[in-house]
Amino acid sequence: MQETILITGATGLVGAQLTKLLLSKQYKVRHLSRRVSENELVSSFKWNLEENTWDLEAIDNVDYIIHLAGANVAEGRWTKKRKQQILESRTSGSKQVAEMVKAAKGGIKGVVSASAVGYYGISNQGILATETDKQGKDFLAEVCVKWEHEIEACPTKVTVLRTAVVLAKEGGAIPKMLAPIRWGVGSPLGSGAQPMPWIHINDLCNMYLFAIENGLEGVYNAVAPERVDNKTLTYQLAKEVNRKILIPNVPEFLLKLMLGKMSSLLLTGVEVSSKKIIEEGFEFEYPSLSKALSHILS
């Protein structure tokens, strides 16, 4: 019997790729989003986050929910209003997912939810963060803590994937970094020494499926084993497209001037361990940055 998986935030970069993977594995897939789309292979249902309403048929006979919905933290300056939108999009969405699970009256076997490595904060002083480490004290850490708290209230098995920067051809960090490199004006940001935890989109999607098929429960870091910094990633990208880094690092003060508080996304980082998920038996298809970029840019 085919199992049915409901995905929130399915129209985003990860959701679209994950949908393709699940369909290829013969799962039935449903989408829950603001806009109902027409797709012969996927059933789409309406979700109004602001009004706390969703199409009740969306959860009929659903086996698992994969919760990806949330405002893009890298879109626009972090004004007071924007920060509130980022927080509420995650806490409110997670609360509603918990309500869906309750409404299903025991029919949903598990929820796998996104979170972020931002949970660990931006000042880790070179320590390799593991799932048992304490949360950070900055804005994104606060968001992650509240995000996870709400999803963990689901009355079923819950798995949380604290996700690093997702590398993909179709969107995310790679296209944004490649454009200036190809024009000859790309360079590391700030000192360039800030950690850049990352994961290939295929590995991330496989991890969601792995969590479901292996009955995982609890928190796992969704991050590739190889640790790199901003300078390494920038130079490796340039090498893959046969370009040279010709200009000095982008000064920290300039990024702060242009982006405000959001510049912390680019100027700070944390090293994160993937040991726990590997010990569960997960095998990365793209464990090294060179292999990941070679595939993405081929």
Task: Pick out the chain residues at pLDDT < 70.
Answer: 1, 123-126
Over residues 111-125, the pLDDT tens digits come to: 999 999 999 997 656
Q: Which of 164, 292, 287 has the alpha carbon at shortest distance from 220?
A: 164
d(CA 194, CA 189): 9
CB 14 within 8 A of CB 164: no
What is the model's pLDDT at position 125? Answer: 60
Q: How far apart are CA 285 and CA 287, in angstroms?
A: 6
pLDDT at residue number 74: 85
Quote the pLDDT of residue 124.
54
3-class DSSP state of 45: strand
Q: What is the pLDDT of residue 1?
A: 61
User: Closest Cα to residue 212, out of 58, 64, 68?
Assistant: 64
In the CATH hierarchy, which fold is given to the domain comprising 4-166+198-224+271-286? Answer: Rossmann fold (3.40.50)
- Segments making up each domain of the chain, as ranges: 4-166+198-224+271-286
Please report the pLDDT score of residue 132 as a whole number.
95
Cite the beta strand spans of 37-154 per DSSP E: 42-48, 53-54, 64-67, 110-116
Question: For the segment 214-236, what is each residue's pLDDT rounded down to a tens digit?
Answer: 999 999 999 999 999 999 999 99
